[in-house]
Amino acid sequence: MRTGIKTNSTQSRGRPGSDAVTERIQAAALELLAQNPPEDVALSDIAAAARTSKQALYRRWPDKAALVIACIETGLASRPLPPPERSNVARDLSRLMTAAANTLTRTCTGRALFNTRRHTAYQAPARHFEDTLRFSVRQCLIASSFESHADQRADLLIGWLWLTCDAKHRAASWTLSSATDMEAEIEKVVFLVLGLAPAAPVIR
């Protein structure tokens, strides 16, 4: 079952991607991209933060876009979305959306994704994340009484997630004030999308 983020990027030059230098480069890139827009992050900045050289970067990735995309996709792949337990659709969707929200708001990967997703050269990870989340929502709904209009339900949940996390990003509020509050907020939205409750989502 596909529950993680599929990584399409390849490191087309040089050494294997699993060595310690590569890991340092990826960690440094995500840290910088989490705090700055991509146009303000130079390869020399990443190399310096990773305690290596620009040549080491070019041995692993052909250009900055390939490096950025690979780093974000690797980070997303390390946080797979939970598969449905299939005992309760609302609970499965709440677990899924909470995991996605935590990735977007509590990790350098998620912050880097937000800082890069509107830039044409770096949009692939955001598309992969959204496609995988949509697939996971459908997996929660399939063979249930909520399977009808599954695409519309997925669009509503994903749209709400982007808006909510974007609001927190713009407010520089990456540490959620209360995990319990966020989970309760997600549960309300899930119930609304499933038609189980009239409560409206609250975007803070």
pLDDT digits (tens, 9 = 90+) for 33-87: 999 999 999 999 999 999 999 999 999 999 999 999 999 999 999 999 999 999 9
The per-residue pLDDT of the chain, averaged, comes to 86
- Let me know: does 97 contact 88? Beta carbons within 8 Å: no
- Give the pLDDT of residue 8: 43
Query: pLDDT by residue (tens digit) across 83-109?
Result: 999 999 999 999 999 999 999 988 999
Residue 142 zone, left/alpha/beta (φ > 0; ψ -120 to 50; rest): beta
- Give the pLDDT of residue 126: 96
Task: Tell me which fold the domain 20-77 belongs to.
Answer: Arc Repressor Mutant, subunit A (1.10.10)
Q: Is a pLDDT exceeding 60 seen at residue 11?
A: no
- Give the pLDDT of residue 166: 85
Q: What are the residue boundaries of the structural domains of the chain, listed by start?
A: 20-77, 89-194
In terms of Cβ atoms closer than 10 Å to its own Cβ (0-12, 13-18, 19+), residue 127 is: exposed
| Cα distances (angstroms) measured from residue 88 to each of 91, 135, 140, 199 | 5, 18, 9, 19
Q: CA–CA separation, 113 vs 91, rounded Å?
A: 26
Residue type (1 letter), 192:
L
Q: How would you label 101-110 residue by residue, b for 16+ Cβ within 10 Å and e otherwise? A: bbbbbbbbbb
